[in-house]
Amino acid sequence: MRRNFKVKMSYLGTNYHGFQIQDNAVTVQETVEKALSSLLNEDIKIFGCSRTDTGVHAREFYFNFYTGNTINERGIIFGSNARLPEDIALHTCEQVSDDFHARYDCKGKEYEYIIHNSEIKSPFLSDRAYKSWYPIDEKRLDDAAKLFVGEHDFKAFCSTDCDKENTVREIYSFDVRREGELVKFLISGSGFLYNMVRILVGTLLFINDGKLREQDIEKIFLTKDRTKAGKTVPPQGLYLNRVFY
């Protein structure tokens, strides 16, 4: 009898060209599928909750897969982790209904973007945070971030490579806070477009640097023009933080 399993995992994205499988690059999906296929002695395809980009990390990521193997949940977790590299870990596993899909049943996501705001580099953060020496006014950016909360057309705040016809999304919350030399941007919403979080952070940094003003945000929404918004910040500071079902 074929069973459907929902699995929670985490990974550092530094060594991978994103989650989704590719013909000419190592991805998280390929790596996990190989581990599960080896464990279960059958070809396994996993269905992820998101398509994280090259270098992006995930503290919480869900996928589901089908198997005819009679192995239990504990066996899946420990057997897979023994076959996975140190930068990917499975945490929980549960059998779910046959029609559950990790992506289509997702109700929302939360991302965190981390900036190492210091004049001195850190060897411990080079692949895990974006380095920016220019002073960041986190209180001002926290206020500005609230202008993105609500339902808006984010056409101007996604990559020009975005293939979604509907670019309306709802942002539930967007907070900016400082923890020592780290400035953290925490955003949750119904869904996110290609590069959307990185462009929103980049737009806030443009406000911090005086290249944009807070009152420009509403105008940028109306233009639907990507060139009017801020830069796309690098991927290494981005974490898929939580997934809601």
In the chain, where are the structural domains located? 3-96, 108-244
3-96 and 108-244 agree in CATH topology? yes
Distance from chain centroid for Cα 75:
28
Distance CA 218, CA 167 (A): 16
Q: By the 8 A CB rule, do 130 and 114 touch?
A: yes
CATH number of the structural domain 3-96: 3.30.70.580
Query: CA 211, 57, 91: angle at the middle one, nearest 5?
Result: 150
Q: What is the mean pLDDT of the chain?
A: 97
Write the class of the CATH domain 108-244.
alpha beta
Count CA within 13 A, CB hemisphere, residue 153. 12
Please give the biggest Cα pair distance in the chain. Answer: 61
Share of the chain above pLDDT 90, in %: 96
Give the mean model confidence (pLDDT) for residues 19-41: 96
The model's pTM: 0.95
The residues annotated with a catalytic role in the active site are: 53
* pLDDT tens-digit map of 113-141: 999 999 999 999 999 999 999 999 999 99
Q: What is the mean pLDDT of residues 181-192?
A: 97
